[in-house]
Amino acid sequence: MFLSFSGLLPSPWSVSTLRRALLAAACLLHGPWAAATTEILPVHRIALDVYVIAAPLADPDPSNGGRVVNTGFVIGRTGVVVIDSGANHRHGEAILAAVARVTTKPVALLINTHPHPQNVLGNSAFADRGIPILATSATVAAMTERCPACQASLGQSVGDEAMRGTRIRLPDTLVPVSQAQEVAGRQLRLLHFGHGHTEGDLAVFDEATAVLFSGDLVYGGQIPHLSEANTVGWIAALNQVAELPIRMLVPGRGPVGGAGDLALTRRYLAELRRRVAAAYLEGRTPDEAIKLAELPEFSDWHGYAARHGRNVQHVYFEIERDDLGGQREARR
């Protein structure tokens, strides 16, 4: 059964129907009248006591205030676990307000899935209420190093008004490795596989419903961002995640779906590496590799024209570093 807070919807719902509903809600949030309803985020129940706040397939700009990543929450026996805090203080406040419309239980924990600004710059809203914030130690290190510049860059994209009141607040609860935790009476599996999309990726698997919040390890219908990625590690992480008994998957970006979305992200990365490696071995330049590594299968994904070429260059230099590093090792 799928619940919307505008009423009870027919059941059963297919994943494709669910996708359309979430995209429609996201479009309403960011439509022409969005400014009047900015603080009211649409909330959808996707499983028992599991909720998602869907974001549109978009890049940060003044019309969306940087709200371009999915966030969500899980209600336990004694409290609520929130996954990702949003792009700024106001976004974090809106997420907390959305939780309060659903339940009177307190927020017991905020989880940051990785250190990108759209996922962590809402932390201050949670920290102001004394809510613990959990992340990997690698995410804390990356936030310490990059968040000041990332906050300034995001502000340039969305405008000063959207970022008003935003302060960098680092997680205070660290998980160095994958582990199972009971939080607020809810059994969660926290999954960290090393450097993939970023250094600090953390996926959250709810044991009771088999819902996976993947963070940006999985993209749905959008070309992945590779700026801090290790694509070999990312593919390896997806191979391990694929072993989970996933019933429903909430990607970092894109509509809610299933394990098939994980497979598509993995296919994009694997095909990208295969074609770029072939160009590199032929002695082609990075610019030549861009032309040789087109992936028409993914050309209709959001951001293909803007990002795919940059992704080709990122992978080219990854392969070059590995190749030159191997040659240095061989000479020792």
pLDDT of residue 327: 55
* Tokens found for residue 183: 């939080």
Please tell me what DSSP assigns to residue 204: E
Give the list of residues 6+ apart from residue 193 with CB closer than 8 angstroms, or none: 178, 201, 233, 236, 237, 240, 241
What's the rounded Cα separation, in Å, for the pair 239 and 218? Answer: 12
Of 211, 247, 178, 179, which Cα lies nearest the Cα of 51? 211
pLDDT of residue 325: 83
Of 256, 252, 141, which Cα lies nearest the Cα of 195? 141
What's the rounded Cα separation, in Å, for the pair 140 and 150? Answer: 14
What's the rounded Cα separation, in Å, for the pair 325 and 90? Answer: 45
Of 123, 117, 142, which Cα lies nearest the Cα of 199? 142
Residues β-bridged to residue 173: 134
pLDDT of residue 12: 37
pLDDT of residue 7: 32
- The ranges of the chain with pLDDT < 70 are 1-38, 326-332
Residue pair 162/122 in contact (Cβ under 8 Å)? The answer is no
pLDDT of residue 19: 52
Residue pair 48/209 in contact (Cβ under 8 Å)? The answer is yes
**CATH architecture, domain 3-271:** 4-Layer Sandwich (3.60)
Asked if residue 12 has a cis previous peptide bond (ω within 30° of 0), the answer is yes
* Tokens found for residue 4: 């919307």
DSSP secondary structure string, 52-115?
EE---S----TTTTT--S-EEEEE-SS-EEEE---SSHHHHHHHHHHHHHH-SSPEEEEE--SS
What's the rounded Cα separation, in Å, for the pair 203 and 19? Answer: 21
- Measure CA 54 to chain center: 11
Rama region for 130: left / alpha / beta (φ>0; ψ in -120 to 50; rest): left
List the chain domain ranges.
3-271
